[in-house]
Structures are given as C-alpha cells and as structure tokens.
Amino acid sequence: MRPCLPVPRAATLFVAAALALLVADAEAAGAVHTVTIDGFAFKPSTITVRQGDTIEWRNTDPVSHTATAKEAGLDSGEIPANGTYRFIARKKGRFAYICTLHPIMKGELVVE
C-alpha cells in the first residue's frame, strides 16, 4: 500500500498548516498592547483592550515580577529581569491585577 502513504501524510500536513494559520490569524487579529514594568510599577497602570487583543508585559526592572489576576485567567508566573510575558485577553470585564511577589504593585486590565 505504498502509494497510499503520501495521501494521509499530505492531508495531515494540510490540516496542520491550516490550524497553524488559524492560530496565527487569531493572534494577528487582535492588537498588541504593551505594559512596561518599571520601578516596581505597571505603566500604564490601567490598560484597556478589546477581547482577543494581546497584552505584553515587559519587565525592565532588575528583579522578577508577576502580573496576576486569577479571575481574568491571567497568571504570568515570574517574569524575569528584562523578560516579557504575553497574554491574550479572552474574558471581558474589569480586572484588578497585582504582582504576587510585591503586592503593592497594582494594575488594572479592562477587556471590552
């Protein structure tokens, strides 16, 4: 059955490629917003995005921070010094978020 082999493989490849495109599309569809972590603060402190948009946190501090709001499904884990974390806002609402390592760091994420 050798001649048959290329067919399912090609089909698999095709499906995989289509899926990859879809994923890429979904990500490309939303805008990308940046929040800078600078001097133990989220800047801007409130960020308003549309559902499906991507938010990128860029940590410019020499220490690790997190961006965490469980209700928003946001939990970056530790973002190291000079590291970034990307998150797609899927849930609408107004969410207060914090750095779990330094809870005096507070931000707000608004997803419309």
Partner 1 sequence: MKTIPMALAAALFAATFAAHAQGGPNDAQIAAIVVTANQVDIDAGKLAESKAKHKDVKDFGRMMVKDHTGVNNSAKALVKKLHVTPEDNPTAESLKKGGQENVAHLKTLKGDAFDKAYIDHEVDYHQQVIDAMDKTLIPSAQNAELKALLVKVRPAFVAHLDHAKKLQAEYGK
Tell which one of 50, 58, 102, 106 touches partner 1 (CB under 8 A).
Answer: 102
Between 19 and 63, name the residue whose CB sits nearer to partner 1: 63
Q: Which two tokens stand for residue 45?
A: 């402190």
- Residue 65 contacts Cu ion per CB under 5 A: yes
Please state, in angstroms and as integers, the Cα–Cα distance from residue 94 to each residue in 6, 15, 31, 32, 112, following that order.
Answer: 51, 37, 18, 18, 8
- Residue 61 contacts partner 1 per CB under 8 A: yes
Residue 55 pairs in a beta bridge with 33, 87
Please check whether residue 97 is in contact with residue 37, taking contact to mean a CB–CB distance below 8 angstroms. no
Q: Which does 38 bind (CB under 5 to 8 A by kind): Cu ion, partner 1, none?
A: partner 1
Name the site residues for Cu ion (rule: CB under 5 A).
65, 99, 101-102, 105
Name the site residues for partner 1 (rule: CB under 8 A).
38-41, 61-64, 81, 101-105
